[in-house]
Structure 1
Amino acid sequence: MGSGLGAVLFGLAALRTRNIALSIGLHFGWNLIHWALGFKNSTGLWVESVAKGSEHQS
């Protein structure tokens, strides 16, 4: 669903504005948000760490 929704969004933006610049900006923002939230098989902005001795609390 994510790829299809993105394709429709980017396609409509390109058709509506008759320019590809908005589609490129939307795609960059989409990827940046997914990376920041950790959906791109990486930790993104937030890295969890547990202090030694407090494992039972986390």
Structure 2
Amino acid sequence: MAWNADDWTFDALEAHYKTLCRYLSMHDLGRVLGYGCGTPGMTRVSKHLREAYDLGASLQA
């Protein structure tokens, strides 16, 4: 989550995430980036909470 909704906000975070996936030999099955969510209240009213729920529900054990 990040307060700033600019496109570049998550560049370093995404690069680090991809590096960790490679290092741990894990496959990226999806991600939700909370652009513009600087507080819990902002997150609650954003589309990202539902996106995260839907992503989790779509994963198989």
TM-score scaled by length of structure 1: 0.36
Q: Per chain length, whose mean CA-contact separation is higher, i.e. which structure has more relative contact order (CA < 8 Å, sep 6+)? A: 2
Higher gyration radius (CA) = 1
